[in-house]
Amino acid sequence: MTGKRQLSLVLFRRAAALLLFLLLTFSVGASKEPSAEKLYKTGRKYEKRKDYANAYLFYSKAAAKKPADKKYWLRAQALQRRAVESAGVMPVSAAAGESTGSPDTPLVPPDQDDLREARKPQPPMELKSAPVQRDLDFRADHKQVWEEVTKSYGLKVIFDGDYDAGAAVAIRMTGADYRTALHALSVTTSSFFVPISEDLLLVVKDTEAKRREVENNVAISIPIPDPVSLQEAQELGRSVQQLMEIQKLSIDSVHRVVVMRDRVSKVRPAQLVLQQLLHTRPEIALEVQFFATGRSRSRTIGTNLQTSTTLTPFVSAITLAGGPISFGLAIRGANVVAASTDSYTRLLFQAELRSLSGEKSSILVGQKYPIQTLGYIGEVPAGETAYTPPPSFNFEDLGFNLKITPRVHDRQEVSLDIDTEFKLLGAGSLNGIPVISNRKFTTQARLRFNEAAVISGLVSQTDVRSLVGPAGLLSVPGLAALLGSDGRTVDDAEVLLVITPRLLSPPTSEFLTRDIWIGSESRPRIPM
């Protein structure tokens, strides 16, 4: 038993020593493993030697060592194409029918949160740097100049795989912020850049093919203000589309938005131009007060005598000259009249219209009345039936119709083209079609804002006098008042229209437009 215990103890000690040796070996190897930054610097050395295969290998190792730093992964992706070409191999195309994944490993379907997050649109990335101004004085090739300038503002840069360092260039600037410096460097090196993160940008050689391949495409929607009509928005949108050569532009008439889609270097300036065009026309609020006053007075005074009588036989009659024929004369009574009426009416209506300069606005106070324009008139013989087509109607606007066209001169004055119209049903009719009484008044007024224009030309006055009494006696002086009645009716109607304009937005002459720097036609500026 003692020998077995000693043997077990020896084996245990040897196993512990072997395990300790392995741990020490692993720790020493791990301590000698290079860091991600060291691998990245080694890749930079290979890239300067144009050994793109080894540079791509070390960049990939650095990215695997430190996945949180996007700089390593982006640098590897930028050199992927050149590394494949320099190594003489090409990736196997998935279109050849070869499966790159294991058929035994099932794919996990995305959940609703993943799908919702994937469909959520994201805005293009924009650079964020400290608002500082630097004095720049560098002379080097294109890549080194980009690296030095971006480093001065706390930014990082990576280059496209096809980007060539080029010849040495000099850049000298005094008191330049990062936006001015980057745009000047783009023009100097014939390059453009795409922001990838808040402090990282990708530099690409400026060609039309690279623009289409690398530059971000965005889709934006611009709301149409309520005072702007859809027809005017379509004309402005078409003008902006031709100006900036926008690929796709459409107008949603239901939600009143303008939707455009193209490269970000075209869409952003087009958005600013369209927003300024939609807000250049001044808006005006018109306060309309409508007063309609009416007064009716009637007076009747005198005696109402019977102007006609009949000869009527009576049972108890008066015998004249003893003859057999008897007649009776009935004396009717008389009424004394002294009556007077006085009525007064007043109507107040107040509304506010909102319009643009040069655009007509209207308001109707009343109703629509159907007027028959076509009908079938004819006789049908007895015992027969015939088809009678239905009549046709037009609806006529009855009441008070006001149309105002404002024209803003400056911040103080405005001109108003005023057109008022009254339409009422008349007393007569023709073939069953009522006659419409129409009164129209047109004028112009120029006044200051917040001042009231009073229109009182819509006046109607009626004076009717009537004499009732026995014929022939009313013309005798003194008998007309005794034997007849004198009546008089006076109707007065007056309409007062008070219009007060108020300025809501500044006129076109005082609207401050924003200068938009879009770059050249072949090299548009990239928004940051």
Residue for token pair 């191999």: 89
Strands 392-408 and 413-430, sheet pairing: antiparallel
Amino acid at 145: V
Residue for token pair 């740097």: 129
For residues 243 and 245, what is the distance between their CA atoms, to the nearest angstrom? 6
- Residue 501 is predicted with a pLDDT of 93
Domains along the chain?
134-214 (3.55.50.30), 217-280 (3.30.1370.120), 287-310+333-372+390-504 (no CATH)
* Residue 76 CA to its chain's centroid (Å): 45
For residues 267 and 218, what is the distance between their CA atoms, to the nearest angstrom? 7
User: Helix, strand or coil for residue 23?
Assistant: helix
In this structure, how many other beta carbons lie within 10 angstroms of the beta carbon of residue 371? Answer: 15
CA dihedral (56, 57, 62, 68) positive or negative:
positive
Sequence-distant (6+) residues with CB within 8 A of 253 are 230
- Residue 108 is predicted with a pLDDT of 60
- Residue 483 is predicted with a pLDDT of 65
Burial class (CB in 10 A: 0-12, 13-18, 19+), 406: buried
- Residue 3 is predicted with a pLDDT of 53
User: Helix, strand or coil for residue 95?
Assistant: helix
- Residue 417 is predicted with a pLDDT of 92
- Residue 337 is predicted with a pLDDT of 55
Distances (CA, A) of 50 to 143, 164, 212, 518: 14, 11, 27, 36
In this structure, how many other beta carbons lie within 10 angstroms of the beta carbon of residue 144? Answer: 14
Per-residue tokens: 258? 């303008």
Per-residue tokens: 67? 């996945």
Buried b (16+ CB within 10 A) or exposed e, 211-229: beebbeebebebebeebbe
For residues 463 and 490, what is the distance between their CA atoms, to the nearest angstrom? 4
- Full pLDDT tens readout for the chain, 528 residues: 445 555 454 454 555 455 445 444 444 444 457 888 888 888 888 888 878 778 888 888 888 788 878 788 778 777 777 776 665 554 444 344 444 444 445 556 667 776 676 667 777 788 888 888 889 888 899 989 998 999 889 898 888 888 888 888 888 989 889 988 999 899 889 899 988 888 888 899 988 888 888 888 888 889 998 878 888 899 999 999 999 889 899 998 888 999 999 998 899 999 999 988 887 778 899 998 877 776 677 776 666 666 555 555 544 444 445 555 554 545 555 565 555 666 665 667 788 888 888 888 888 877 788 887 777 666 767 777 767 777 787 888 787 788 999 999 888 899 999 988 877 776 666 767 777 777 788 888 899 999 888 877 656 667 777 767 666 666 666 666 666 666 777 777 777 788 999 998 888 777 777 788 887 777 888 877
177's enclosing H/E stretch is: none
For residues 452 and 499, what is the distance between their CA atoms, to the nearest angstrom? 5
Task: Based on DSSP, count helices (H) and strands (E) in the chain, helices before strands.
Answer: 12, 18
The overall pTM is greater than 0.75: no
